[in-house]
Amino acid sequence: MTNSPLGRTLVIANPAAGCGEGERARVFAERFLASFSSATEGYEILSTEGPGDARGLARMAGEAGFSSVIALGGDGVIHEVVNGLMALRQSIRPALGIIPMGSGNDYARTIGMAKNHAEDALAQLVQGQIVNFEVGQVNDVYFMQTLSFGLDAAVAIDTIRRREKNTSLRGESLYVTSALKLFPHARRGWPCRAHIDGGHELILPTIIFTVQIGPTYGGGFQVCPAANPCDGVFDLCYNISRPALPHLAALLGMVRAGTHTRSRVLRLRQAKTIELAFETPVPAQVDGEELEGQHFDIQVIPQALRVICPTPATRTNRVTWDAPHAKE
Ligand SMILES: Nc1ncnc2c1ncn2[C@@H]1O[C@H](COP(=O)(O)OP(=O)(O)OP(=O)(O)O)[C@@H](O)[C@H]1O
């Protein structure tokens, strides 16, 4: 355990994540860190009490000199922690670790972390390596995994609302039933004017417009299968024509497996900056959280965040990125 990259560590735990599994994971993390004193150079564990807390705690961790912050919970709490860390200047920004305990866990897939298994995730962290990952910015919000507009965002928002109503559906089945419900509303799309990397204006009949740092969204849908979080560019997937509804339904199934990439309806490309101006307010999600607006300025911030990742030997799934870019 002596090579642990954690240093002085603050764990920010969402006890409500994963339908309450977050609290069990917090208790386990407390026992684990108490038993393995060489894993950290001192630690604290704080629980969130509601939305927004994790952001403030992460910011406070940088100001208090912590070397790493571990977000324990789903992509929502990781998103909040990333926004707190990005509010700090880079010289005092702690490294980010995650103990993924959500229902989607897309950032865990990007990194190769164990999902909903605190013991395995902690073992990966203490043997981990630090890698510089990019962060996205849309208007004044930072994101670490996904930003999307249109049908897929409407589906993500619908799944959040249905989960808040205590539906027993989780993960993929929740996503698919929301998608089927919302398909008919997507017929017209959300037309927009787009400038990508400062290029000429595109008029798009947007049904989906996705900006990815890692490959997946929606709990494993491989919308940009090759997206690499270390390459300094976003991966985009957007429609350039309007498919008939049956074709749209088929595309959704193909996105699940990442086999949509040759569709003539879609365009996949990379970019560093994007400006989108929609004719009307558009459903939008950022890391699974709802985002409001009609005009969006989006940019990638390369190597913004030091992320504690599993080593190749301990990764839970294949990843799209290569060797570490930096280690401290
Ligand atoms: N103590 C708390 N009680 C209730 N909600 C909380 C609490 N702390 C944070 N939250 C909010 O819960 C939301 C969801 O949290 P999180 O993403 O961690 O779990 P999840 O929803 O189970 O996972 P996923 O995002 O992968 O679906 C976040 O938006 C967060 O602001």
Catalogue all structural domains in the chain, each as residue range(s) with its CATH number.
Answer: 9-133+304-314 (3.40.50.10330), 143-301 (2.60.200.40)
CB burial of 195-206 (b: ≥16 within 10 Å; e: otherwise) equals bbeeeeeeebeb
Question: Which residues of the chain are modeled with pLDDT < 50?
Answer: 1, 325-328
Supply the pLDDT for residue 181.
83
- Please state the atom number of ligand 1 nearest to the C-alpha of residue 106: 26
Residue 184 has a pLDDT of: 77
Pocket test for ligand 1, best of 21, 75, 77, 161 (most atoms within 8 A of CB): 77
Residue nearest to atom 12 of ligand 1 (CA): 51
Protein residue with least CA distance to atom 5, ligand 1: 50
pLDDT for the residue numbered 103: 84
Distance, C-alpha 202 to centroid of its chain: 27
Ligand 1 center to 60 CA (angstroms): 20
Q: Report the pLDDT value the prediction gives residue 1, as an integer from 0 to 100.
A: 46
Q: What is the model's pLDDT at position 326?
A: 46
Question: For residues 84 and 88, what is the distance between their CA atoms, to the nearest angstrom?
Answer: 7
| Ligand 1 pocket residues where CB is under 6 Å | 14-18, 48-51, 53, 73-77, 80, 102-105, 288
CA 17 to ligand 1 centroid distance, Å: 5
pLDDT at residue 328, as a whole number: 44
| CA 14 to centroid of ligand 1, rounded, Å | 6
What pLDDT, on the 0 to 100 scale, is given for residue 107?
A: 98
Q: For the chain, give the secondary structure using H, E and C.
A: CCCCCCCCEEEEECCCHHHHHHHHHHHHHHHHHHHCHHHCCCEEEEECCCCCHHHHHHHHHHHCCCCEEEEEECHHHHHHHHHHHHCCCHHHCCEEEEEECCCCCHHHHHHCCCCCCHHHHHHHHHCCEEEEEEEEEECCEEECCEEEEEHHHHHHHHHHHHHHCCCCCCHHHHHHHHHHHHHHHHCCCCCEEEEECCCCCEEECCCEEEEECCCCECCCECCCCCCCCCCCCEEEEEECCCCCHHHHHHHHHHHHHCCCCCCCCEEEEEECEEEEEECCCCCEEECCEECCCCEEEEEEEEEEEEEEECCHHHCCCCCCCCCCCCCC
The rounded Å distance from CA 102 to ligand 1 centre is 8
pLDDT number for residue 327: 45
